Amino acid sequence: MLNRLNRYFLAQLIGPFGFFSLVIAGILWLAQALPLIDKVIESGQSALVFLEITSYLIPRVLMVSLPIAALAASLYALNKLYTESELVVMMTSGLSPMALARPVAIFGGLVMVLMAIVTLYLVPAAQSRLAQRLTDFQSDFAKTLIKEGQFIHPTNGVTLFINDTSKAGEMAGLFLSDRRDADNPVIYTAQKALLLQDEGGIRIVMVDGNIQYLPAGTTQLSTVHFEQFSYDLGALLSAPAENIRSPFQRFLPELLWPTDAMKASGLWDRGDYLAEANHKLAMPLSALVLPLISLGAILAGGFRRGGFMGRVVAAVVLGLFLQAGLGISKTFVQSNPDIYLIMYLPALIGLAVALALLWRAGRVRKRGLA
């Protein structure tokens, strides 16, 4: 059970953690959401769809922001408690640095559990859904093409203009220029048209129109009138790529035991899957270690009325170094999956450094009491 002191300590940590999580996650979410605006607009989707799409970015953003927020919250709260002499009072009352590490470790454990939920479940689920929705946008050609009063370019050399449209998908005043073959340009015009999409693909059925073309080697324009003509757009528009889930989009059991179908894709090998699996497992450990590093850095040098900016900077640099080490070790495992255990080395180094700093803080406290 937590005593009153530990509950107070935890309350001092959780408040700043919530604030820093919102700020950091908001900045990262905005940076990743902006590139998606063009894709949503081009597919003719609404603002609600944009919010749906960008909501799938939140777990990925949290995966990055939660360890940083845990480090920032710990440094802020501990520095505040120390400069206001609350930590000094706690230690003079008989609490050792290791005893003070208990609520910090509990806080880190809570963030670690939250990180595990995000990395092992929410991230692959959200990223898979995001990839599927973006693929759906590429398949939704009708909303992209039926735009009245605008010149649309489905592909290089093709220009489409529609004067008027109806809610039923009927078009009036159609102009279609096909210059993919520069030697044989063709222009289609029609009084009415209808865009159809079925198993055979997507096509425009034109009614009451003309085909104008200039045969190669001649200067005479030829015109053909038609009552109904079907123009296949499937050859113009690139088919959406098959949605093959990357290792980042897969759940832990799939990464540890990839199926034959996953191996057959040829895009990723055993090293990629194993590296991603251990990366998902190692990342939550940083949320446990970083707050302890913050406590050790603040306590290790003893009390200073002038503040602890140097220690704060040192803790931030060490935290960033450990996070970078996790990413670097992942690249090594991708090329040599048998050394996957090195991905846990940054967390172990961070824990060793935190314990060493707390041990040093205990020595400084004993000298001060002596």
pLDDT in the model for residue 366: 54
SS3 content of the chain, % helix, strand, coil (to 5): 65, 15, 20
Asked whether 269 and 333 are in contact (CB, 8 A), the reply is no
The pTM (predicted TM-score) of the whole model is 0.74
pLDDT in the model for residue 99: 84
CA distances from 146 to 109, 199, 308 (A): 54, 20, 62
Of 270, 248, 249, nearest in space to 259 by CA: 270
* Alpha-carbon radius of gyration of the chain: 31
Backbone angles phi, psi at 114, to 5 degrees: -60, -40
Residue found under tokens 């900016």? 309
Which tokens go with 230? 């079907």
Asked whether 153 and 147 are in contact (CB, 8 A), the reply is no
- ∠135-265-331 over CA atoms, to 5°? 95
Q: How would you write the pLDDT of the chain (370 residues) with one tens digit per residue?
A: 567 878 888 899 999 999 999 999 999 999 888 887 776 766 666 778 788 888 999 999 999 999 999 999 999 998 888 778 787 777 777 778 888 889 999 999 999 999 999 999 999 999 988 888 877 765 555 555 666 777 877 777 888 888 887 756 678 888 988 888 877 889 999 999 887 766 666 778 899 999 998 877 677 888 889 999 988 776 555 544 556 788 998 999 999 998 888 878 778 888 999 999 999 999 999 899 999 999 888 887 655 555 567 778 888 898 889 989 999 999 999 999 999 999 999 999 999 999 998 888 777 555 544 4
Residue found under tokens 């080697």? 217
pLDDT in the model for residue 298: 83
pLDDT in the model for residue 345: 94
Spatial separation of the C-alpha atoms in residues 281 and 60, rounded to whole Å: 15
